[in-house]
Amino acid sequence: MASDVLIIGAGSAGSVVANRLSADPSRTVTVLESGERVTDPEMRRPELWPFIHGRSYDWAYRTTPQKGLAGRSLDWARGRGPGGSSLVHAMAHMRGCRADFARWVEATGDERWSWDSLLPSFIRSESFSGGASDVHGDSGPLPVLLPGPDLSSPLVLDYLAAWEALGVQRIPDHNGGEMLGATPNSLTTRDGERVTVSDVYLDPVLGRPNLTLLTGVTVHRLIVSRGRVTGAAVTRDGRDEIIEADTVILCGGSIGDPLLLMRSGIGDPEVLGAAGVETVLESPEVGRNLHDHLLGAGNLYSSRIPVPPSRLQLSESMTYLSKDGWERTSGAADIVVGCVVGPSASESFTAEAAHVAPGAGYTLLFGVTNPTSRGSLRISGPDIGDEPIIDPNYLDTEHDREMFRLALEHARMVGRSDELARWRDSEVLPGPSVSTPEEADAFIARAAITHHHPVGTLRMGHTDDAPVTPDLRFRGVDGLHVVDASVIPSITAGPVHASVLAIAESFSAAASY
């Protein structure tokens, strides 16, 4: 089997790229996806997103024990099936702020990754509930809902009022270029249900005769000959075969892409040799620069009055703040505090959380927007069944620990505000026993959970050590491109999904082959 373009991964980025590139009828496009079509009705229900992890459509990765998290390992949910991680994510749609993309420009030396240059891609991707404007689109594939007071929890409305009473500005939404302030989360839902990227980008165009989606395909390695990728070795319907292509685009995400490259002999020779893989191309940074958002779960309260069930997706609002105080209303965010309409805690505090039943409590999550800790991932053996070694190296830097303490302080500040007094009974976590910086650090180490935003393992950059070039070509292998969260050099302040869509839209618009 042969194709002009072979896309590996039918997740969020792969769905966008497949749609846009197959719009040219002269170009044949094949998409390979390891998972099958997901029919679980609970996947569609926004309020159940934390509870569907670990099912058949989750890769269910797990990190190594983390020194910064009191030796704990974290489960890393990654979607498996058409739609990828849009099958399992929290549906919050936040582009990031101008300052985030200024760092991308610094890393790449290319203005195409600035906020202003990416804005048309953001607009092109969405159908915004508030209609078209200078920063929003109303005719793109993906529905983006900005909830109003009629849908938001009364708890969250009081939470937002509490920030305003403290002097924090209320902003229209998280997607106008600046994020400092309080607002409800925009969500990728429609008519009360989750919408995956495959639903709106890939599925509607599968009737194109030049587009083929193959599911249930195991991709073992890339075929590289004389410095050029020529296809992939796969197992399909129980048979091993080679699928050939003139161009290969990796859209398997921050975990899947580097693991495939390493199995193909592309990476750090020391890592490859330890896993029993012969080196085809030395690329030492493959799998490095791994980073992710953590959230403290959490600043938990028992409630004086019943907390109505969320009509959205539980975590209804994130407030982004500067370490410099309320006076700064633009620029980079440093910390975040979110409001969850229900009790939420890490596995370290199940006993404490068990005393707060759903409807009888609520949680303020807190975290660091731009962590400086960096980790890595690597293969443990030559086969896809060999467990990857994922070490995000959480809370390795003093910056991250200091910002986490500050985030906890701000969560507790808004938690004890007058505007939340009608809800607040008592603070269950961390509780009165946590008051010193040392006690806060110990609590955070046990309370922190992943925000499910791993990025950076094939970072793009203008220097030769960056695995991917600013135009998303993989260095050292002709015909190979990378288009997904793995190329992000430094994480955006909020959830990365919206930025992944913009990366894919930008790449597709610039494609010249």
- Rounded to whole angstroms, the Cα distance separating 365 from 353 reads 14
The residues, any chain, with a CB within 8 Å of residue 246's CB and separated by 6 or more, are: 3, 4, 5, 479, 513
- Rounded to whole angstroms, the Cα distance separating 57 from 145 reads 25
Which long-range contacts (C-beta less than 8 Å, at least 24 apart) are formed by 262-271? 262/286, 262/287, 262/378, 262/379, 263/220, 263/221, 263/379, 263/382, 263/383, 263/384, 264/221, 264/222, 264/224, 265/221, 265/224, 266/222, 266/224, 266/476, 266/477, 267/378, 268/378, 271/378, 271/379
Decide if 304 contacts 81 (C-beta within 8 A).
no
For the chain, how big is the Rg over CA atoms in Å?
22
- Dihedral of alpha carbons 131, 137, 138, 144, sign: negative
The answer on whether 219 is annotated among ligand-binding residues is yes
Place of tokens 């203008």: 462
β-strand pairing of 288-290 with 281-282: unpaired
Choice among 174, 453, 481, 497 that is catalytic: 453
Minimal CA–CA distance to 228: which of 479, 483, 3? 479
Minimal CA–CA distance to 180: which of 323, 21, 359? 323
- Rounded to whole angstroms, the Cα distance separating 418 from 405 reads 23
Type of residue found at 425? D
The residues, any chain, with a CB within 8 Å of residue 23's CB and separated by 6 or more, are: 205
Q: How many CA atoms lie within 13 A of 202 on its CB side?
A: 32
Asked if 452 is an active-site residue, the reply is: no
Minimal CA–CA distance to 202: which of 46, 20, 50? 20
CA-CA-CA-CA dihedral for 474, 479, 484, 485, to nearest 10: -10
Q: What phi and psi, each to the nearest 5 degrees, are found at residue 247?
A: -135, 135
Three-class DSSP category at 72 = strand
- What tokens does 425 get? 């009974």
| Segments in 46-153 forming alpha helices (H) | 98-108, 115-125
For 193, other C-beta atoms within 10 Å of its C-beta total: 12
Angle at 21 (CA atoms; ends 15, 27), nearest 5 degrees: 130
Decide if 69 contacts 445 (C-beta within 8 A).
yes
Residues marked active site are found at 453
Residues in the annotated binding site for FAD: 219
Annotated binding site: 219
